[in-house]
Amino acid sequence: MKFYRLKQFYWNLHSRLDEYDLKFINNILSEDELELFKKLSMSEQKHCVKVAYDVEKICYKKDINLNIILKAALLHDIGKIYRRLTIIDKSIMVLLNSITLGKMKYMCKFNKINVYYNHAKIGAKLLEKISCNKYIIFLVKNHDNNDINDNKYLNIIKYCDNNN
């Protein structure tokens, strides 16, 4: 776990989208979705693209609507546009969350803590405003919800998100 956090820190510092990534994103997202996506930090954009690539690999030749699940993968962290978290912010959040054994989530009156814990709900509201597909909104809203384990699409997104 510690090595993974170091790797995340490195990725955050060096994330860039290449031409292939941009073409991939443009082929999946609508104009309104793309406009929101571009508001994410570069490291968040790259994270979402990596999650979508992994989702695509897992779903290849399966009975899954690729358009729906890839949009959800690209947009799963869209709520983070509400208040950007820097690499230092994220590092501090992870440390404080560990030290407080998760009790930091009760301090959500602070914008950065609120976004850290509630970006999925915030993202769902943003997607509702642009009339996004209801199922994509469900997937975005619940991608960090560990109480839902019986949804194939959600399980794939959670798995890929946790590995990136």
Is a pLDDT exceeding 80 seen at residue 6? Answer: no
Contact indicator for 148, 162 with CB cutoff of 8 Å: no
Residue 64 pLDDT exceeds 70: yes
DSSP at 28: H
**34-40 average pLDDT score:** 97
Q: Say what the pLDDT of residue 9 is.
A: 64
Q: What is the rounded CA–CA span in Å between residue 38 and residue 8?
A: 21
Per the structure, the count of domains in the chain is 1
* pLDDT at residue 97, as a whole number: 85
The pLDDT of residue 69 is above 80: yes
Confidence at residue 38, expressed as pLDDT on a 0 to 100 scale: 97
- pLDDT of 56 higher than 60: yes
Whether 68 has a pLDDT exceeding 90, the answer reads yes
Range of the domain at 67: 2-162
Higher pLDDT: 10 or 148? It is 148
- The percentage of the chain sitting over the pLDDT mark of 90, rounded to a whole number, equals 62
Q: How far is CA 17 from the centre of its chain?
A: 16
Q: How far apart are CA 132 and CA 120, in angstroms?
A: 15
Q: Tell whether the model's pLDDT for residue 72 goes beyond 80.
A: yes
The three-point CA angle 152-60-5 to 5° equals 70
**What's the CATH code of the domain at 93?**
1.10.3210
Q: Which value, to the nearest 10 degrees, does the dihedral of the CA atoms of residues 57, 164, 148, 111 take?
A: -140
CB 87 within 8 A of CB 9: yes
The pLDDT, as a whole number, for residue 67 is 96
Residue type, 79: G
pLDDT of residue 4: 56
Measure Cα distances from 133 to 30, 64, 150 in Å: 11, 16, 20
Residue 2: is its pLDDT beyond 60? no
Task: State residue 14's pLDDT score.
Answer: 65
**Mean per-residue pLDDT for 141-161?**
95
What CA–CA distance (Å, rounded) separates 45 from 57? 19
Give pLDDT tens digits for 78-122: 999 988 888 788 778 888 888 998 888 878 778 888 888 899 999
